[in-house]
Amino acid sequence: MTELATREAPARRGPLRRAAPALLGYAAVRALGLLVLAVWSAARGKSAHTLLTARWDALWYARVAGGGYGYEVRLPDGDVHSDLAFFPLLPWLERLLHTVAGLSYGDAGLAVALCASLGAAAGIFAVTDRLHGPRAGVCAVLLWAVLPVGIVQSMAYSESLFTALAAWSLYAVLTGWWVTAGALALSAGLTRPVGLAVVAAVWTGGVASFVRRRSTPGPHGAHDASHAPRGPLAPPARGASVASRALGMLLAPLGVAGYVLWVGRHTGDGPLGYVDVQTGWRNGFDGGWAFACFVAGRFTSLPGALAGAGLIAGAALVIWLYVVCVRQRQPLPLLVHTGVVIALALGASSYFGSKPRLLLPAFPLLLPLALALARLRVPRSALVLGAAAVASAVYGAFWLTGSGPP
């Protein structure tokens, strides 16, 4: 069995107990981040609660939750910022919590984000544990928690919700639960436009599974556990019918396609209506040209040059980690998901300050680092992660009370 072969969880430990160290560690890191934010924002005369629930995208989501779609802002330069740019699942959940629990829409969004971030941590652990074992799973979760923009995971934004849906959809693909994978991909597609990455992963996994099923020895190409390869895309021992694979693949694109088509009908612009909405925000896809020009423009002064060098280093690190993931032969659905997330994040033509948070769902990039940490002695890995947690908490407070995530 190769290093990337699927690991079976010991029967004596239930899933929750197995994931408990990762979830407790994640909760501790996020609690530290929120504590530092509370102290930092109070020292600057700002409200941490307002920063988490009522700024930037959080306001747009809350407005959709409270009044539905139809709000737009016309800027002096002619641009039109429409709330149709924001996908509906988070506002739906905010409205549900507002109705059931009486929370404000902002607080409801925060509650969804906090719960979803734990769900995302559990999903990241499940994927990593299946591929590399529980110790690497804990390290992967903590690495995701200590990312410099990790504070976004605790904001009334959709990143945590989307990452949770994406991670569990990928886990369902790896375990052969195709209908579940498709349903989660559908939900991810109702959360963010990058839901396309999850759809692509489900379709890639489905096609690969069909091919492997046909090439596996056995009667009529059916799975024969005694001869089938053991790996993340091997047909599960319990078997998965062709119908379940096809249904999962059919469900996967319905979320993102349904919302985009609805926007087109709502605006009267047809299938390209959502593209027009994004154009009003000056947000499109140009393969990274605008981002490259933005970085080049930083080198006109010394402070700007340092920032530009940092941006280049960050982009290079992301690409290098992806190459390592390919060399380590991550399962194809994970590579496809990560590749699409990276392409959409780095290739977007505006909102350059948002790119770090747009990369949060690309958690498979952290697996090589998690493996390296898992090989260290516990005190050393704890020291590295502890220092990173403190740095992340300080940077998150500084960032959110300053420019923050647009």
| Each residue's pLDDT tens digit, 364-404 | 999 999 999 999 999 999 999 999 999 999 999 999 998 77
Residue 7 burial class via C-beta count within 10 angstroms: exposed 0-12, middle 13-18, buried 19 and up:
middle
User: Are the beta carbons of 359 and 129 closer than 8 angstroms?
Assistant: no
CB atoms within 10 A of CB 39: 13
Q: Which of 238, 315, 5, 229 is nearest to 133 (CA)?
A: 5
Q: What is the pLDDT of residue 217?
A: 57
pLDDT in tens, 74-120: 888 878 899 999 999 999 999 999 999 999 999 999 999 999 999 99
- The rounded percent of the chain whose pLDDT value lies above 90 is 67
Grade residue 234 by pLDDT with cuts at 50, 70 and 90. very low
pLDDT over 60 (residue 12): no
Instruction: Give the amino acid at 356.
Output: P
Residue 58 burial class via C-beta count within 10 angstroms: exposed 0-12, middle 13-18, buried 19 and up:
buried
Instruction: Give, rounded to a whole angstrom, the gap between the first and last alpha carbons of the chain.
Output: 46
pLDDT over 70 (residue 2): no
Extents of the domains making up the chain: 15-400
Grade residue 297 by pLDDT with cuts at 50, 70 and 90. confident
Average pLDDT taken over every residue of the chain: 87
